[in-house]
A = this chain, B = another copy of it.
Amino acid sequence: MLLHTIYLVAIVAEAMSGAIMGMRRDMDLFGICVVGTITALGGGTMRDILLGNYPLGWIAHPEYLLFTIGAAAVTALVARFLHHLRNVFLVVDGLGLVAFSVIGCDIARANGMSPGIVILAGMITGVFGGLLRDVLCNQIPLVLQREIYATVALFTGALYVGLLWFEVDPTIAPLAAIGAGFVFRLLAMCFHWKLPSFNGNGIRGFE
């Protein structure tokens, strides 16, 4: 129940993120709503297609589309006032990331997947919406370049799978994973934690 509420808040935040990116690319209202919706629901859609888990979430629950389309359209209208909300957005986005991860893990577990695939399904749910947003907006996906973002999703999923493995109460395990993952994400933002990157400019001829 709490998880479902967090999920709805999170898809609204993700739809806002997609809508803003679409506006920066001079998209019209249709494009803004499409990019917002794909940002919000694309991660779960990708996960379900990879797992063969049909029907997709937003086909079984078309009301999710109303949330994301509505959030994108409202964002377009009130965007000039949004810079006040930047910090709220970052917090909600971080909460969404970990909630998406736990939800993705649950769906993979319900499909009988092995632990590694469960954790991966959580990560895909958390980060592939933003990745698809960036592909549609013709830029290299941010999640592949900077900050501890996907790592938070992997950590959250691994912690969740670990807690269930040690038979922690299944009402407590998701909340504990979400809480710890969320704190990790906040710390990563505060301290600008990054994964190492590597300069490959000198290497030719491997494509």
Residues in chain A within 8 A of chain B (CB atoms): 16-17, 19-32, 34-35, 45, 49-52, 54-56, 59, 62, 65, 76-77, 79-80, 82-83, 86, 89-90, 113-114, 116-117, 120, 130-131, 133-146, 150-151, 194-207
Contacts A80-B202, A200-B22 hold; do A45 and B55 have CB atoms under 8 A apart? no
**Beta-carbon contact of B26 and A207 below 8 Å:** no
Contacts A30-B151, A62-B114, A145-B25 hold; do A20 and B135 have CB atoms under 8 A apart? no
**Beta-carbon contact of B206 and A86 below 8 Å:** yes
Instruction: Looking at the assembled complex, report how far the CB atom of A156 sits from the nearest CB atom of chain B, in whole angstroms.
Output: 14
Instruction: Looking at the assembled complex, report how far the CB atom of A182 sits from the nearest CB atom of chain B, in whole angstroms.
Output: 19
**Beta-carbon contact of B146 and A136 below 8 Å:** no
User: Given the complex of chains A and B, what is the CA–CA distance between A55 and B34 in angstroms?
Assistant: 26
**Beta-carbon contact of A29 and B76 below 8 Å:** no
Instruction: Looking at the assembled complex, report how far the CB atom of A189 sits from the nearest CB atom of chain B, in whole angstroms.
Output: 11
Main SS at interface, chain A:
helix
Chain B neighbourhood of A131, CB < 8 A: 136
Residue in B19, B45, B114, B145 whose beta carbon sits within 8 Å of that of A28 in the complex: B145
Most buried by B among A77, A133, A137, A144: A144
**Beta-carbon contact of A20 and B207 below 8 Å:** yes
**Beta-carbon contact of B141 and A26 below 8 Å:** no
Contacts A20-B203, A83-B204, A205-B86 hold; do A29 and B197 have CB atoms under 8 A apart? yes
**Beta-carbon contact of A59 and B65 below 8 Å:** no
User: Besides the contacts A29-B197, A142-B207, what 10 more A-B pairs have beta carbons closer than 8 Å?
Assistant: A20-B207, A23-B199, A26-B199, A27-B140, A28-B146, A35-B144, A62-B117, A79-B200, A82-B206, A83-B203
**Beta-carbon contact of A26 and B116 below 8 Å:** no
Chain B neighbourhood of A120, CB < 8 A: 65
Instruction: Looking at the assembled complex, report how far the CB atom of A52 sits from the nearest CB atom of chain B, in whole angstroms.
Output: 4
**Beta-carbon contact of B26 and A145 below 8 Å:** yes
Most buried by B among A117, A120, A207: A207
